[in-house]
Structure 1
């Protein structure tokens, strides 16, 4: 049986015009995406995004504005669901207390997630894994690039 898989992600851009990426390993797959994840039943989008940032980044965020919602069909890479992803521009309420990496998939021992910054001017669709994220990268480049 197919179903909708609603996901919510935060686009966090720091004062150096760098975007926060999340490198992860789950279900035997390595992938790069933006911080965030699946909405829980009975949860609103903003509350879900704030919960995901607390779970993944141990960070409280402020949601600035809606940025993009998936407007094409995307099947999940992990199950039979249709993925619907909503992206928001966010800012951290206080500095992030994470161990930032400089290379992808540089996991600390016992972890299956790591974080790194990438300059928006250097960002390409190849930096992220899934089709929706690639679309968001193109939109981010058009909106925030210094070129």
Structure 2
């Protein structure tokens, strides 16, 4: 998996306000996780986030990171992108859009929603409704 180069974390006060606006108690660990997650628009897996937080000198358990990411997904702060059974990324851009997934580099690249047209969706099963469509197009580096 590609290394994520750390940048500056998001300002603490802005993160505290963001968490509070989504009814999330801003514990020290949640704030530190969110500061790195929201430092810029990005796609991170939990392991990459653990690395960033650890490099910044904050001790956070793997379970805490996963629980925090689950909470953030549940409150609409990030989108969970399951690219295969063993790879889950968290996208800080929560607007509807699609992705390329490079199988060689494990990189996710945004595709604007309007760049992809879906002509017809099947009817949702009885008693359900479609809430969105998420397309992940798998690519690899050219073999020249």
Q: Name the TM-score, length of structure 1 as normaliser.
A: 0.23
Structure showing greater relative contact order (alpha-carbon pairs closer than 8 Å, 6 or more residues apart): 1
Higher normalized helix content (fraction of residues): 2
Higher normalized strand content (fraction of residues): 1
Q: Name the TM-score, length of structure 2 as normaliser.
A: 0.23
